[in-house]
Structure 1
Amino acid sequence: MLAIPEGPFVLEVRGGISRTNIDGAAYFDMEMLKALPSARLETSTAVTDGVRRFGGFLMRDLLAHVGAHGSTVIATALNDYMIEIEINEFDRYDVLVAYEMDGEPLLSSDKGPLWIVYPRDQHAALKDIRYDYRWVWQLQRLDIR
């Protein structure tokens, strides 16, 4: 059983998970997410200029924290944008769920509060447009299948 969020929910994880806190799902406030092991990544993006410094946590650490069991994650943004991502990508690459960029918190008015960020500068394969679609900003929900 996970702790109950004390602040506003910023992320919901549902589906194939073994650790929950509310109605069979895992809800997180920002403080709960910041308590996960932190990670940093410097990379360029398809939607910003230059190399940016991102702070957050690794997607695989979040999935381990909730006891995820499945083969895919459906990531959904605040605007209902959805994309299916193979879970094994998170083992192959250090995919970050960022809550800050260049030392500043990500705001919902500009790609926040959470943004899935791939280490595109570290792996040539990740510069393919197919991966750009997986950079879900304003992330609000993950469904494990």
Structure 2
Amino acid sequence: MDFMNIIRKLQNTLAAFLLLASCPTVIAQELEKPQGDVILKITGHISRTNENGVALFDMAMLEALPQTSFQTTTIWTEGKITFSGVSLHDLLIAVGSSGARLRTLALNDYAVEIPVSEAIEGGPIVATRADGAYMSVREKGPLWIVYPFDLQARYRSELTYSRSIWQLREIAVVD
């Protein structure tokens, strides 16, 4: 293993530890069960679940988490759009995440990995709304991981665009 891989592993481990340490009281509680249609499934290295070691979320559960929004342009839409939803950071805290990477999966089976180190305050959100309206599957919904592209130049890259998975249905937290 080369030196840079060792450094990356240490950074990912530290990011996962800091994420866990930031909210220890939430981790001990069990998640409520979804009452509506399940729109997101989170598996893997999580400590808060609601069904057989898995965290299932309906829209109401996602909207009960702290909400955030930002306005940005994307390469897939026209003009500035206000996206709102739960930050990826807060979602990982809610499930007691302890992994280093997120394997995300869309309704059409598109899959991409996102390092947990990107799940920071002011970073990507799991958007449930665009300009205040729920997003249909046709409009890249119901869930879309959106980065604040206009707020930080580092987010305007092919790699970040590939991580902006729409029609999100599942996240697996892995080492």
| Smaller-chain TM-score bracket | over 0.9
What amino acid maps onto 1:6 in structure 2? Q
Which consecutive segments of 4 or more residues in structure 1 shift more than 2 A? none
**In the alignment, structure 1 residue 123 sits paired with structure 2 residue 152:** yes
25, 36, 50: which is aligned to 1:21? 50
Q: Deviations over 1:4-38 (max 9, x none)?
A: 10101000000000000011100000000000001
Aligned mates of 1:115, 1:29 — CA distance in 2: 15
Q: CA RMSD in A?
A: 0.9
Map of 1:38 onto structure 2: 67
Question: Following the alignment from structure 1 to structure 2, what is the Cα–Cα distance between the partners of residues 97 and 134?
Answer: 12
Unaligned runs of at least 5 residues, structure 1: none
CA distance in 1, matches of 2:122, 2:158: 16
Sequence identity, in percent? 41
CA contact (8 A) 2:107 2:168 kept: yes
State the TM-score, normalized to the length of structure 2: 0.81
- Bigger CA drift: 2-11 or 87-96? 87-96
What does residue 39 of structure 2 align with? 10
How far apart in 1 are the matches of 2:146 and 2:100?
Answer: 20
| Structure 2 counterparts to residues 91-130 of structure 1, below 5 A | 91=120, 93-130=122-159
**Which amino acid counterpart does residue 91 of structure 2 have in structure 1?**
L
Deviation at 1:109, TM superposition (A): 2.1
Instruction: Read off the aligned partner of 1:72 and give its amino acid letter.
Output: R
Deviation at 1:92, TM superposition (A): 6.6
SS in 2 for 1:91: coil
Taking the aligned partners of 2:104 and 2:42, their CA distance within structure 1 comes to 9
Query: What TM-score do you get using the length of structure 1 for normalisation?
Result: 0.97
**Which structure has the highest helix share of the two?**
2
| Greater percentage in strand | 1
Residue 100 of structure 1 and its aligned partner are, at CA, apart by 0.5
